[in-house]
Amino acid sequence: MRLRLKIRYKLALIFCLPGLVLIGVGEIIGYFWGYDLLRNTILVSAILFAFLLPIAFISGGIFVKSIKKLQQATEEIAKGNLDCPIDIESGDEMEQLADSFNDMIATIKENRGQIAERSAPLKKPIPGRYQKILKTSAKATLNVLEDLLKAKDDLELSQQSFHSIVEKSADAIIIVDRNGLVRYVNPAAETIFGRNQEDFIDDPFGMPLNHDRTEIGIFRLKGGRGTGEMTVTETTWLGEKADLVTIHDITERKSAEEKLIKLDQLKTDFVSTVSHELRTPLTIMGEYASIISDEIPGKLNPEQREYLSIIAGNIDRLSGIIEDLLDISKIEAEKVVLKREFVDLASIISDVVTQFKPRADEKQIELKTVFPLSLPPFYIDGDRIRQVFTNLIGNAIKFTPRNGKITAEAVDKEKEFECRVTDTGIGIAPENLDKVFTRFEQFDRTEGSGAKGTGLGLAITQALIQLHRGRIWVESEPNKGSQFIFTLPRYSPATLFQEHVMNSMKEAATIGSATTLFNVSLVDPNPLNGKFLQERLEPILKDMEGLLRKSLRGKGDIVLRDMDGLVHFLVNCDKESALRVESRLKQKLSDYLVSQGLAERMKLHFGRATYPDDGSNAEELMKKARPAVYASKA
Amino acid sequence: MTKKKILVVEDEAELTRAIQIRLEQAGYEVLMAYDGKEALEKAREENPDLIVLDLMLPKIDGYKVCRMLKFDEKYKKIPVVMLTARAQEKDENLGYEVGADVFITKPFKYQVLLSKIRELLGEGVLKTP
């Protein structure tokens, strides 16, 4: 619209008009009442005010009305109502503003309409099948998300586990691929090799990787050089074959091993040195006492004889104590080896009983033996078992009062043998029963002969029986006597020797050498001389065994004498050397027979079989080795 | 019949003397040596019929002495009785390896020594052990 009258002209009019009127009024007042300034000024000001106030209000009103109209309309629009045209017809800029406003509203209205039109289809509900698809794929997405989250958690967990195990392991863990390059090292490996991970990876490992345990030199974080044990196993790494190398620090263990070896050596040295130092003076004392007692330097008067006998007796006593102490030390230091052979147990027991008869008679104790008619030979250390019986029977005598009875027996119990020494002595109190075999424990004894011991006898006896792989125990009640029982496992000579032969063959097989089984027997071709020579056979065979042992000089040889009169021995040599060994031994044994004056009466028979030439198992070998003379016997 | 000569080698003088007393009583002539070196010298000079040899000897030990004599053509026939306070099995085996004929541990009963000596000199009758 075109402006009819701009606002500033309206304002000019509004402000000038009162001025003009003021001047007019002033003139009139001046004309009629004079031109008194003050009175005029006050009058004029009052009149001015009277005029200006209403003018101000009116002019304000004119503009304010329009502004108010605009403001109301804007409020309506803000509320969302676009249907309120602004009606201003003042013919000035206000009207222009109102017109523009109306245009703007109209445009907005139009746009809104268009949007509404266009978005109408969107407000329609989605058809069923699309809904379903949306739901399913939404669910599927959710599941995938869940799985991914779980996988992430699992990965974290396994990473933590990996970290806890491999990263924190004190053992070095290294992965080496098939080309010998290092693919992974854990922190421990870095320490042991003194290298950082970066310096390790993709470099060759540098050491041969056979699948065995090897010892290698390592460097330890604390303590410098050491030894490690390296183990290699097959594994996969990132889908390819690789080797897992583990290195365990065994420096401490090695030094402990070395210490143990040194300690063992110390024990051996101790036992030998102490033996020597203790025994020498005793031997000397004993020798001189016996020389004097045999009256070599001159005759003795009865008192001298008596006192000397006391000295000699105590030397023996001291000897016994020292021997016991040394024995138990040796046994505990595990330095005792049994010298097993086939012995007649009955004769051992009889010997011991004979030895103790005088003492038993002194106390009028009946001492007897009981064994079955035919006891097979025992594969035991004869001297040691004799020691056992000496101890048990000696104790029995010590702890049995006058007119008692002691029995020594051997019983065949199929799988093993049981030997018993029973007495009618004072017995053992129940509270002492389990202390009986303890070292240095001694209980009350009865009066009579028999020196006070060291309390070691039963401890030694127990150890000896255990070395023989037997058991020993006691049954006793106070005043009802005691029974000491021990067992000895049963060995049949055949199986035992067979075992030796098998072991020897196995050894030979492993190192690719040979072993030969020899048999020697002494035969009397003239059985008429029978009885006499049978008695002599024992010691001769024993001597032969000794001779053989000596000549074989411990080259892994075993000499075994069985009750058939055959001496078996094994020599680690091949067939050729066996021939030489045989001829050498033939010579030696013949010489021996000659020296014994038996060359006429006895004949030596040799049998020989070599593994692997003459047989591949123990039975074959043993059969082949039997001298022809024995062919008839099974 | 001339007396048989026995060389006793033992570094404990008192013990040597005790053995000497006994062996002379038994009718042997006794020579004495107190260390390995002396033992070899006397053995070569006097050519004894038997040697009683202790193992723990100064200068040259008993094993070496035995070995040296046994591997020597001239002296290997002399029987050797080894004497010692050490009683380990390996000592005994070692003894036999160097050629000893008999091994006796101390303390020993004099009779045992005597009977072994008699055996080795081919004088005695075999006793049942």
Say if residues B56 and B30 touch (Cβ distance below 8 Å). no
What pLDDT does residue B129 have?
Answer: 47
Q: Would you give the end-to-end CA distance of chain A in angstroms?
A: 151
| Mean pLDDT computed over B30-59 | 91
Measured distance CA(A559)–CA(A567) in Å, rounded: 7
Whether residue A287 lies within 8 A of chain B, CB to CB, comes out as yes
φ/ψ of residue A358, rounded to 5: -55, -45
Number of C-beta neighbours around residue A59 at 10 A: 15
- A390 has pLDDT over 60: yes
Rounded to the nearest 10 degrees, what angle do helices B36-46 and B62-70 cross at? 30
**Lowest mean pLDDT segment, chosen from A128-132, A211-215, A288-292:** A211-215
Measured distance CA(A252)–CA(A555) in Å, rounded: 36
Identify the band that residue A533 occupies on the pLDDT scale cut at 50, 70 and 90.
low
Whether residue A282 lies within 8 A of chain B, CB to CB, comes out as yes
Return the CATH number of A338-489, one of 1.10.3720.10, 3.40.50.850, 3.30.565.10, 3.40.50.300. Answer: 3.30.565.10
What pLDDT does residue A291 have?
Answer: 92
Identify the band that residue A630 occupies on the pLDDT scale cut at 50, 70 and 90.
low
**Lowest mean pLDDT segment, chosen from A443-457, A506-520, A580-594, B89-103:** A443-457
Interface of B with A (CB under 8 A): 12, 14-15, 18-19, 21-22, 25, 56, 84-89, 91, 93, 96-97, 106-108, 110, 122, 126-129
- Per residue in A548-600, pLDDT tens? 766 665 554 666 666 666 777 777 777 777 788 788 778 888 888 888 777 77
Contact A283 B56 (CB under 8 A): no
Chain B residues within an 8 Å CB radius of A540: 126
Q: What CATH number should be reported for the domain holding residue B77?
A: 3.40.50.2300
What pLDDT does residue A590 have?
Answer: 82
Identity of residue B14:
E
Number of C-beta neighbours around residue A388 at 10 A: 28
Contact B128 A539 (CB under 8 A): yes
Residue window 540-579, chain A: list those with CB within 8 Å of chain B.
540, 542, 549-550, 553-554
Identify the band that residue A289 occupies on the pLDDT scale cut at 50, 70 and 90.
very high
Identify the band that residue A292 occupies on the pLDDT scale cut at 50, 70 and 90.
very high
Whether residue A275 lies within 8 A of chain B, CB to CB, comes out as yes
b/e for A293-325, b at 16 or more Cβ within 10 A? eeeeeeebeeeeeeebeebbeebeeebebbbbe
What pLDDT does residue B128 have?
Answer: 46
DSSP A167: I
Name which of A449, A470, A310, A308 is nearest A384 in CA terms.
A470
As a residue count, chain B comes to 129
| Mean pLDDT computed over A113-129 | 75
What pLDDT does residue A444 have?
Answer: 67
> From edge to edge, which strands make up the β-sheet containing A224-237?
A182-185, A172-177, A240-249, A224-237, A213-220
Say if residues A446 and A399 touch (Cβ distance below 8 Å). yes
| Mean pLDDT computed over A430-443 | 82
Whether residue A539 lies within 8 A of chain B, CB to CB, comes out as yes
Chain B residues within an 8 Å CB radius of A272: 86, 88, 91
B55 is written with which tokens? 């193992």
Measured distance CA(A218)–CA(A225) in Å, rounded: 6
Minimal Cβ distance to A288: which of B18, B87, B96 = B18
Minimal Cβ distance to B106: which of A279, A296, A539 = A279
Q: What CATH code is assigned to A496-630?
A: 3.30.70.270
Domain that holds residue B114: 5-120
| Mean pLDDT computed over A529-543 | 65
B111 is written with which tokens? 């009779």
Chain B residues within an 8 Å CB radius of A289: none
Say if residues A38 and A52 touch (Cβ distance below 8 Å). no
Identity of residue A570:
L
* Nearest chain A CA: its distance from B115 CA (Å): 15
Beta bridge partners of B102: B81
**Lowest mean pLDDT segment, chosen from A285-299, A361-375, A589-603:** A589-603
| Mean pLDDT computed over B58-82 | 88
The SS3 call for residue A529 is: helix
Which has more confidence, A329 or A155?
A155
* Nearest chain A CA: its distance from B51 CA (Å): 18
What pLDDT does residue A628 have?
Answer: 64
Which has more confidence, A565 or A325?
A325
Q: What residue ranges do the domains of chain A occupy?
A: 7-117, 169-249, 255-329, 338-489, 496-630
A237 is written with which tokens? 């790494």
Identify the band that residue B98 occupies on the pLDDT scale cut at 50, 70 and 90.
confident
DSSP A181: B
The beta strand positions in A275-402, using DSSP E, are 341-343, 366-370, 378-380
**Lowest mean pLDDT segment, chosen from A300-309, A510-519, B67-76:** A510-519
- B78 has pLDDT over 50: yes
**CA dihedral in degrees (A409, A412, A417, A421; nearest 10)?**
-10
Chain B residues within an 8 Å CB radius of A321: none
Identity of residue A375:
L
Contact A595 B122 (CB under 8 A): yes
> Phi-psi bin for A418: left (phi > 0), alpha (psi -120 to 50), beta?
beta
B124 is written with which tokens? 């005695």
- A530 has pLDDT over 60: no
Say if residues B42 and B7 touch (Cβ distance below 8 Å). yes
Beta bridge partners of A411: A418
Whether residue A339 lies within 8 A of chain B, CB to CB, comes out as yes
Highest mean pLDDT out of A91-95, A427-431, A628-632? A427-431
What pLDDT does residue A452 have?
Answer: 62
What pLDDT does residue A558 have?
Answer: 60
Chain A residues within an 8 Å CB radius of B18: 284, 287-288, 291
What pLDDT does residue A112 have?
Answer: 83
Say if residues A418 and A475 touch (Cβ distance below 8 Å). no
Measured distance CA(A343)–CA(A388) in Å, rounded: 15
Measured distance CA(A506)–CA(A512) in Å, rounded: 10
What pLDDT does residue A304 have?
Answer: 93
Report CA Rg, chain B: 13
A548 is written with which tokens? 């053989």
Whether residue A335 lies within 8 A of chain B, CB to CB, comes out as yes
DSSP A204: B
Name which of A614, A611, A589, A615 is nearest A602 in CA terms.
A589
Q: Is residue B129 part of a domain?
A: no
**Lowest mean pLDDT segment, chosen from A181-195, A342-356, A486-500:** A486-500
Identity of residue A531:
K
Identity of residue A108:
I
Question: Which long-range contacts (C-beta less than 8 Å, at least 24 apart) are formed by A512-515?
Answer: A513/A572, A513/A574, A514/A572, A514/A573, A514/A574, A514/A575, A514/A610, A514/A611, A514/A612, A514/A613, A515/A570, A515/A571, A515/A572, A515/A573, A515/A610, A515/A611
Q: Would you give the end-to-end CA distance of chain B in angstroms?
A: 29
What pLDDT does residue A288 have?
Answer: 93
Closest CA in chain B for residue A351:
B129
Measured distance CA(A401)–CA(A69) in Å, rounded: 147
In chain A, the percentage of residues whose pLDDT exceeds 70 is: 84
Parallel, antiparallel or unpaired: strands B5-9 and A416-423:
unpaired
What pLDDT does residue A603 have?
Answer: 76
> Alpha carbon of B89 to those of A277, A337, A605: distances in Å?
18, 8, 30
Task: Give kind and range of the element (H or E) at residue A444.
Answer: none
What pLDDT does residue A531 have?
Answer: 56
Number of C-beta neighbours around residue A373 at 10 A: 5
Task: Please give the CATH architecture assigned to the domain spanning A169-249.
Answer: 2-Layer Sandwich (3.30)
Contact B85 A275 (CB under 8 A): yes
DSSP B85: S
Question: Which long-range contacts (C-beta less than 8 Å, at least 24 apart) are formed by A623-627?
Answer: A625/A517, A625/A518, A625/A519, A625/A568, A626/A519, A626/A566, A627/A519, A627/A520, A627/A521, A627/A566
Chain B residues within an 8 Å CB radius of A279: 85, 106-107
* Nearest chain B CA: its distance from A553 CA (Å): 5
Identify the band that residue A375 occupies on the pLDDT scale cut at 50, 70 and 90.
confident
Identify the band that residue B1 occupies on the pLDDT scale cut at 50, 70 and 90.
low
| Mean pLDDT computed over A286-291 | 91
- Per residue in A481-508, pLDDT tens? 999 999 998 776 566 666 667 767 776 7
Say if residues B10 and B81 touch (Cβ distance below 8 Å). no
- A408 has pLDDT over 90: yes
Say if residues A272 and A217 touch (Cβ distance below 8 Å). no
Measured distance CA(A523)–CA(A529) in Å, rounded: 12
CB pairs under 8 A between A and B: 66
Mutate to test the interface with A, among B66, B96, B103 (most CBs of A within 10 A): B96
> Alpha carbon of A428 to those of A396, A445, A462, A477, A537: distances in Å?
12, 10, 17, 6, 45
Parallel, antiparallel or unpaired: strands A558-561 and A224-237:
unpaired
> Phi-psi bin for B99: left (phi > 0), alpha (psi -120 to 50), beta?
left
Task: Round the average pLDDT of chain A to a whole number and report it.
Answer: 80
- Per residue in A147-170, pLDDT tens? 999 999 998 888 888 878 888 888
* Nearest chain B CA: its distance from A189 CA (Å): 47
What pLDDT does residue A632 have?
Answer: 43
Q: What is the DSSP string of A460-480?
A: HHHHHHHHTT--EEEEE-TTS
Whether residue A595 lies within 8 A of chain B, CB to CB, comes out as yes
Closest CA in chain A for residue B24:
A296
- A448 has pLDDT over 60: no
| Mean pLDDT computed over A285-293 | 92
Closest CA in chain A for residue B128:
A539
Identify the band that residue A279 occupies on the pLDDT scale cut at 50, 70 and 90.
confident
Which residue shows structure tokens 């594969």?
A379
- Per residue in A214-259, pLDDT tens? 787 777 666 678 888 888 888 888 888 888 889 888 888 888 888 8
| Mean pLDDT computed over A77-87 | 79
Say if residues B102 and B82 touch (Cβ distance below 8 Å). yes
The total number of structural domains that make up chain B = 1
Measured distance CA(A180)–CA(A245) in Å, rounded: 11
| Mean pLDDT computed over A10-25 | 74
What pLDDT does residue B42 have?
Answer: 92
Closest CA in chain B for residue A334:
B88
What pLDDT does residue A159 have?
Answer: 84
pTM above threshold 0.80: no
Chain B residues within an 8 Å CB radius of A277: 85
